[in-house]
Structure formats: C-alpha cells, structure tokens
Structure 1
Amino acid sequence: MSENTALYAALENQFLTYEELAAVPVEDNGEAMVAIGDGFSGKVFITDRRMTAYTGENIYVRSGLVPMLERAQQELKSILPGCSLEVVYGYRHLDIQHAKFEAHKERLLKEDPTLSGTALKEAVHRFSAVPEVAGHPTGGAVDVRIKDSSVEKLPMGTEVAEYAMDTYTFSPFIAKEAWRNRQLLRCCMLRAGFAPFDGEWWHFSFGDREWAKYYNQPKAIYSQLRFTSEDATGEALTGAAAA
C-alpha cells in the first residue's frame, strides 16, 4: 500500500458508514420545505439541472436551514468581506438519489461481482449515499462553495461533486490555499450549526442522520421526502410529501 493510499484510507475510516447511519432513529418534525430566497443574502446556483423537473429554478431546503445559511454567510463575510457563500444543491428528489445509487452499484458490481448485501451497500455508499439514509432527500443537506466579488470560485482543490479522493476535506495532497479555503468554509458552516461530511468538502447538513450522529442527538428530525415545488405551501409537511 502506498503512502498516499494509506493516508486516504485513514481519512475514510473516520466517515460514518451506512450501518451507523441506518441505526439512527428518525422522527420527522414536519418542518416545511421552502425555496432559498430573500432570507439568504448569499448566492444560489443550480448545478444539477435534473432537479428542475421537480423544483423548477429554485433550490429547496427545510425552512430551518435558511437562517442557518444566512448565519454561515455572515460568518464568512466577517472574515472575507468580499466573498459570499453559494448554495449549489439542497433538496434532491428520491428518484435522482436512487438513480445515482444504482449507477454506482452497477459500476462496482462490474468491478467485483461477489459484492452483495450490506457489503455492497457500504461499498456504494462511499460514492453515493444509500437512499434511505441520504441527507439531500430530507431537505436537510446542502452543497456549498465560496465565490469572490468577481463571482469567481475560490480554489478548493477539486470541483463540487468531483469523484476523487482529494475531495476528502482533510486531504493533505491539495494546495495550501485550497486547504485554507476548505477549513474556512467548514468553520463557518459548523458555527452556524451544520454537521460536516468530511468525505466531500462541500457537503453539510442539519436535521438528518449525519447531523444526529455527528452531534450525538437521540434522533434525526428530518426524514426522506418525495417533494416537488407543487407541494410547496410554506406550511408544515403532511404525509402527502413524505416518502
């Protein structure tokens, strides 16, 4: 095993597994889904155009995340006044999550046909969260990056959603500037109350299983949803939008 491979493996050992997340109980609090709008002074940019079929030209999250995102924005502004937080993903429809999961499962099975059961789920989970524990379909997870005053992305070592081990937040193999930017982003999001997923420097969540496990909460408060913009009323969710 090379030194690089060993370091990546050491980082991976810190990530929550599918089984750990599946063991976290969930009791949805019914919090409404809302489009990120005037309550957030940062930027919003849709990177996954597949979501427009479900939520149009908006990014939706649970209502409680909007003031948290604004707090993270203000934390960032206090350190880098010329920069802004940019949200590039929020809610992901379960159909898309299932499609991502199945695509990676098919690829891994071609590489190792002996994988099955929980071992298969764990292997796929490294690349795409198992749908029943995934954060994005709860409306509680966001993917974020930092833009400067010229609307250029600050270097982070990789692009958002790039499949490479250097997406690990603490990868030692990225440039110093990118490392500093990652830690700044992580610090601002944690100060706002989000939990990090350190396998993807851009991914943070609140209310889902990842958040509950990270902060040692007794349960997650957001469950997976089958939501579209037609369901948006600004009121508490009912069974109609739940998976």
Structure 2
Amino acid sequence: MKSLTYLLLILISFNFVTAQDKKLPEGFIYLKEKIPDIKLDIRYAGSNNFIGKPVNAYQKPVAILTEAAATALQKAQKDLMAEGYCFKIFDAYRPQTAVNHFIEWARIPADTLTKQKFYPNVAKKDLFQLGYIATKSGHSRGSTVDLTIINIQTGEELDMGSGYDFFGDISHHNTNKITKEQRANRSLLKRIMIKNGFRPYPEEWWHYTLRNEPYPETYFDFPVQ
C-alpha cells in the first residue's frame, strides 16, 4: 500500500512539473486554444525548412502567439471562412534561441543542403546582407505570424507563386514574376489580414505583424513546447 501511495505521489509530482514547464508567459496563448479549426504546419519543428532539420527550441509543432495577436487572427479566420477558406500557420512566436540557430547555420558556407529548394538564386554568404537572416526577429516579440490560405473543401493551399521561406524577389509583394491568379490569392490574404489589424512585410507574402503589438521592444526566448 505504501509503495502504491509513493508511486501515485511521484506521478502527481511529475504531471505538476510537466504542466508548470509548459506554462506560457503572461499574455501568451496556444493558438489552437483560441482557434481550434486553424491548420498548423510548423516547419521549424521538422526538417522541411531552409536549414533542413528541426530548429533549436522548437520542441513541439505548436503555434504560440500573444493573446492580442491570437484574438485578431481569430477575427481574420472568421472572415476568411465566410469566403470558403481557412488559414494554415507555418510559424508564429519564435524563440531567440531559434534565431541564433539560423545565424549559426548561415555562417557555415559548406552547408547548402536546401539551397535548390529555398535559395537557388542567392549565395548563402549574402543572406545576411540581403536581409533574409537577421540577429533579431519580430517573431520573437510574439505577435508576428507566417501563414497561407487553404481551401476548406479540399485542404489544398492556394497558389501564392512561391513556397514558404523562399529567398528571392518572387516572394515580394511587388514582384512581377507571378500570374494574375497568384496575385489575387496574395491579395486575398493581404486584404483579410490588414482588415483585422495586421501589417504585411513587403518582402515576404506570408509574413504579418499585429500593428498594435503588446511587446514591441521585447524579444522572448521561452521554448515552443
């Protein structure tokens, strides 16, 4: 009986610690808790990304945002679903540790495993100079999200003209290298996001930041778990 009681106490303590470890800082929320029907494809938790492997501090494929950003995105999702579409999230809050991992990768010129898919026309040594890799990311402030649109009926992504995290001018909003349909798809995303309080990043069609973000000067570094 004493052994059973001791075992139960250990399990209770373990669960408590696990729950405490996963507690988010005040003002942050798991996006699925706010928007249960949103789709997730958290690229940095796996190997389908420009460094070709899981990124440091991405321990689980979950999306975290500030509550303010999540609330605004919830409204945007409602508007989008009224038109027969849904958001798919590639990235949300990004720890500074992950940004540091990007920096380390960029400084290894021989590692070009993913070049053909993500930066075929850009020399890896130029990624810093061209602004594709930086020492700080707005994602670390918790109110920036990378996303695309999928068709509710088919689950397929709309054609945006380039893939997520493609380093090249075809990913810019003002590119002349995409079709009329691809431009219309990007315009749909931009219209819905701007209407709900987000501002676009000119060089990445997928990247949006809440205009009135609650932590504009704070770069967080808790893990995605």
Would the TM-score normalized by the shorter structure come out above 0.5?
yes
Indicate if the aligned counterparts of 2:57 and 2:95 stay in contact, CA closer than 8 A.
Answer: no
The equivalent of 1:100 in structure 2 is 102
The equivalent of 1:62 in structure 2 is 66
* Structure 2 CA distance for partners of 1:111 and 1:43, relative to 1, 3 Å: closer
RMSD, matched Cα: 2.8
1:139 pairs with 2:134? no
Q: Which has the larger radius of gyration?
A: 2
The equivalent of 2:183 in structure 1 is 179
The equivalent of 1:227 in structure 2 is 222
Q: Which has the higher strand share?
A: 2
Normalized against structure 1, the TM-score is what?
0.65
* Structure 2 CA distance for partners of 1:153 and 1:110, relative to 1, 3 Å: closer
Taking the TM superposition and a 5 Å limit, the aligned residue runs for 1:89-238 are: 89-104=91-106, 107=109, 123-124=129-130, 126-131=131-136, 134-148=137-151, 149-206=153-210, 211=211, 221=216, 223-228=218-223
- 1:38-70 Cα offsets, whole Å, 9 max, x none, are 321322221112358544231111111111111
Aligned-pair CA distance for 1:186: 0.7
Amino-acid identity (%) = 23
Name the aligned partner's letter for residue 100 of structure 2.
Answer: H
Indicate if the aligned counterparts of 1:86 and 1:144 stay in contact, CA closer than 8 A.
Answer: yes
* Structure 2 CA distance for partners of 1:129 and 1:84, relative to 1, 3 Å: same
Which secondary structure does the structure 2 equivalent of 1:38 belong to?
helix
Gaps of 5+ in 1: 1-29, 113-119, 231-243
Normalized against structure 2, the TM-score is what?
0.69
Gaps of 5+ in 2: 1-24, 46-53, 110-121
Q: Distance in 1 between matches of 2:56 and 2:125?
A: 33
Name the aligned partner's letter for residue 91 of structure 2.
Answer: Y
1:42 alignment partner, one of 29, 38, 44? 38
